[in-house]
Amino acid sequence: MAEYPSLFGTDGIRGVANQSPLVPEMIARIGFAAIKILGRDHDGPMSVVIGRDTRLSGDMIEKALIEGMTSAGAKILLAGKVPTPAVAMLTRQAKARAGVVITASHNPFEDNGIKFFGADGYKLSDETESVISDFAQTESTRRLDRIDAIVGSVERMEQPLRRYMDFARATFPAGRSLAGLRIAVDCANGSASKSTPTVLRELGAEVHAFHVTPDGTNINRNCGSTFPEEIARQVRETAAHVGLSHDGDADRILFCDEGGEVLDGDVLLAIAGLDYLKRGALVDRTIVATVMSNFGLDETLAKAGGKVLRTSVGDRHVLSEMVKHGLNVGGEQSGHLVFRDFTTTGDGLISALQILAILTAAKIPLSKLKHCLVRYPQAQRNLLVKRKPPLAELSSVQKLISETEKSLAGRGRVLLRYSGTEPKVRLLLEGPDENEINRHADRIAAALTAEIG
């Protein structure tokens, strides 16, 4: 089969809705190709769960996927507007061959995307995505000619959101409750707008829910986990003990303590890792984090007899290492946390429940619990770019990075990478002196802006 530029990025297919590749004809081809590839060794009709977030363009993409998949003979199970992790769970529960989520996660509403899960609830491998991408772009599928005699079907699932909520709630320790806890929740006008507030209330919490009225265009707009100042405001406004903030498809979670300070994924990993170590529940005494996580996480775990295994950025890389080594706790600084004892993907609600369980057992405020992690200062810059040439070709930038690394003399690090989902370059510096690393970050950022900004 001929090779084409991959339609897939670091987290599925993503772009501006109604612009290539997210146009109906190509989406139908992608759906057709997915069924042909994933169903090659499968007897009988192949069932596929499809869910989506609250974006206006979700209807168009869903209809195009259904066209392509049913023309290849698939049986479609529609889950409607549900969190991304719900699709992974429903795929396993329904014994479907695959799951598909229509979402662009934390991106603005103009964007959308397509993520695939396998029958096991894990995201597809890079190799499988590459084969689907190539097949969707060949001449035979481009014409959308169909020679199959079997046409698929479409049906709506019974209470998919309720099934997911029951599944998530069951991961909270039996016999425990959240009674007496006041929680502010920012649902980003996304797919957790009903599920997370409902489950927290059912567990006994007093819940103040914000951004829970999606209209198709307000997802992630000045709210959610990419606007942490919003959950900080909500916590102060409601005098909440804890704040929770999702992204649009609810596979991320950030916390906020009672004083209005936001806790990112590194703090949550430290809290979870130490608790699991204390209970003897952390497999191989190891958590998985990415190269973006603060080095303070390594030191925190090491002092308690644990360790951190580092991966490239992206929850799929975290999960890959977790599966490879049989590990059960991992995540990213961004708030993608994975508790493999319960689920197969990043799950904002299940992750929140695990941290809340630790908090309620500790019987101390979150503002004290968070001090388990002592951070190295970090400086981050996320810059819009016009193009993405190889970073090694940016001579002036590379010169500054080399000078910075020499200045840090082994006491810190510089990480520079392109975003896999947005037209951005991401710069991270870490070291013992905050003023020093911010000075270096500003110099490198200015050089990046001059070359590709």
- How would you class 19 by CB atoms within 10 Å of its CB: exposed for 0-12, middle for 13-18, buried for 19 or more? exposed
Using alpha carbons, list the distances in angstroms from residue 78 to 36, 176, 417, 438: 20, 34, 37, 48
For tokens 């709506």, name the residue: 156
Measure the CA–CA gap between 161 and 1, rounded to whole angstroms. Answer: 40
Q: What's the CA gap between 316 and 301, in Å, rounded?
A: 23
Which residues, other chains included, contact 195 with Cβ-Cβ below 8 Å and sequence gap of 6+? 82, 83, 86, 161, 164, 165, 168, 250, 349
Instruction: Quote the tokens at residue 4.
Output: 């084409």
Q: How far apart are alpha carbons 327 and 63 in whole angstroms? A: 38
Neighbours of 110 (CB within 10 A): 15
List the catalytic residues. Answer: 105
Closest Cα partner for 107 from 154, 62, 53?
Answer: 53
- Is residue 139 within a helix (H) or strand (E), and if so which, with residue range? helix 139-142
CA-CA distance, 151 to 144, in Å (whole number)? 14
CA 413 to chain centre: 25
Q: Under a CB-based contact definition with an 8 Å cutoff, are residues 421 and 9 in contact?
A: yes
| Alpha carbons within 13 A on the beta-carbon side of 253 | 30
